[in-house]
Amino acid sequence: MEHLSSLRLIPNLQVIRPADAVETAAAWAMALQKKDGPTALVLTRQKLPAIERDPGFSPEDVLRGAYAMKRLGEKPQVAIFASGSELALALAAGEILHKENIHAQIVSVPCLEVFLSQPPEYRNSVTQMLPTRVALEAGRGALWHQLFGGRGLVIGVEGFGASAPEGVLAEKLGLTPGQVADRIKQYLIETAYWT
């Protein structure tokens, strides 16, 4: 994960971080379609669950870099962006928020660079123009601020070198579903005074 931001900074390198088998197949298609530069497929060695998407999903959605993966509630109040193995974490945190009557739009972002190159109309349709946006990634979060125009919560890992079993490390880094949901709730409380 420490290398992910470095890869994204390389000019003309398409960095794709799929969340499950469906996105991995689409990522391979994206890599084959890119004729003007290299692609890095960033996969995980973790066992990941199959992602349940909203009806209407098409694997073609992945080719646009990001797509609205799951809506939790009728009127979402927050858009949660995630890539790779953190997509399942975003969904689990969103489910916790949903039980507390905070509705979320979960956005899968397999390729940040491709998504940022999309027309504003598409980017806005994915986020539904929600004013509250959260990015979640077990790596440096600096590049995610491009999605927010200076506003938004980025939950990431700014340290380096931690090592422990997966569950222990997630808890120590604040990357369990409950911890992520709590951070989002706190952010919603803090920003309510400023909006």
Instruction: Output the CA torsion sign for 106, 136, 29, 43.
Output: negative
- Write the pLDDT tens digit of every residue in 42-89: 998 878 888 889 998 998 899 999 999 999 998 899 999 999 999 999
CATH 3.40.50.920 holds for 4-192: yes
- pTM value? 0.89
Neighbours of 58 (CB within 10 A): 10
**Structure tokens that stand for 171 in this block:** 């808890």
At residue 195, the pLDDT reads: 47
Domain ranges of the chain: 4-192
Burial of 22 (0-12, 13-18, 19+ CB in 10 A): middle
Query: Helices marked H in the chain — which ranges?
Result: 4-8, 21-33, 86-99, 112-116, 120-127, 166-172, 177-192
- Write the pLDDT tens digit of every residue in 9-36: 899 999 999 999 999 999 999 999 999 9
- Write the pLDDT tens digit of every residue in 131-187: 789 999 887 777 888 777 767 888 877 665 555 556 656 677 667 899 999 999 999
**For the residues 95-104, what does the mean pLDDT come to?**
95
Residue 129 has pLDDT above 80, yes or no: no
* SS3 state at 173: coil
